[in-house]
Structures are given as C-alpha cells and as structure tokens.
C-alpha cells in the first residue's frame, strides 16, 4: 500500500514530457516548411537570447529613467 502512495506522489515516470514532444514536432514542422534557414534561426535565437534580453532590459531601464525625469521636470 505504501509503494502505491509513494508512486502517486512521485508523479509521472515517463522519460519524455509532452512539452518536449511538442517542441520537437514544431522544429520538425518548421524545418520541413522553411528548410535549414529555420534551424539556423533557432540556433541564433538560442545563442543570442541572453544578449537580446540584456539589451532589451537596458532599453527598458533607460526608458523608465527618461520617463521619470520627463514627468519630474514637467510637473514641477
């Protein structure tokens, strides 16, 4: 009885998740539709995504500072 409860608490014992299967299917579909350019775009996105996030974060922060200064100077 304890082993049944223990197995239920551990969750699924599948070696692969549904989310991973969906990603693989979408990559295969994209490759079949657009060819190797799609694969290179995914590789580039995967490699440069942290850099793009950092640049976007910088611009959002600068925009917030500029907006704050603009509002501060406008209403004083």
First to last CA, the chain: 72
Domain assignment present for residue 5? The answer is no
List, for residues 3-50, the tens digit of each pLDDT value. 665 555 565 666 778 888 998 999 999 999 999 999 999 999 899 999
Domain assignment present for residue 70? The answer is yes
Provide the pLDDT confidence category of residue 75 given band limits of 50, 70 and 90: confident
Q: Which residue range(s) make up the domain with 57?
A: 14-74
| 3-state SS class at 76 | coil
Domain assignment present for residue 29? The answer is yes
* pLDDT for the residue numbered 15: 76
Domain assignment present for residue 9? The answer is no
Q: Where is pLDDT greater, at 52 or 11? A: 52
* pLDDT for the residue numbered 61: 97
| 3-state SS class at 75 | coil
* pLDDT for the residue numbered 11: 58
The whole model's pTM is what? 0.50
Q: Are 42 and 34 in contact (CB under 8 A)?
A: no
Domain assignment present for residue 1? The answer is no
Q: Report helix angle 36-74 to 18-34, nearest 10.
A: 110
Total number of domains in the chain? 1
Domain assignment present for residue 37? The answer is yes
Domain assignment present for residue 7? The answer is no
């Amino acid at each position: 009885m304890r082993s049944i409860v223990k197995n239920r608490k551990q969750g699924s014992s599948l070696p692969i998740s549904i989310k991973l299967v969906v990603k693989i299917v979408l990559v295969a579909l994209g490759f079949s539709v657009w060819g190797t350019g799609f694969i290179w775009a995914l590789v580039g996105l995967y490699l440069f995504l942290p850099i793009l996030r950092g640049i976007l974060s910088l611009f959002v922060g600068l925009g917030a500072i500029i907006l704050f200064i603009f509002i501060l100077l406008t209403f004083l």
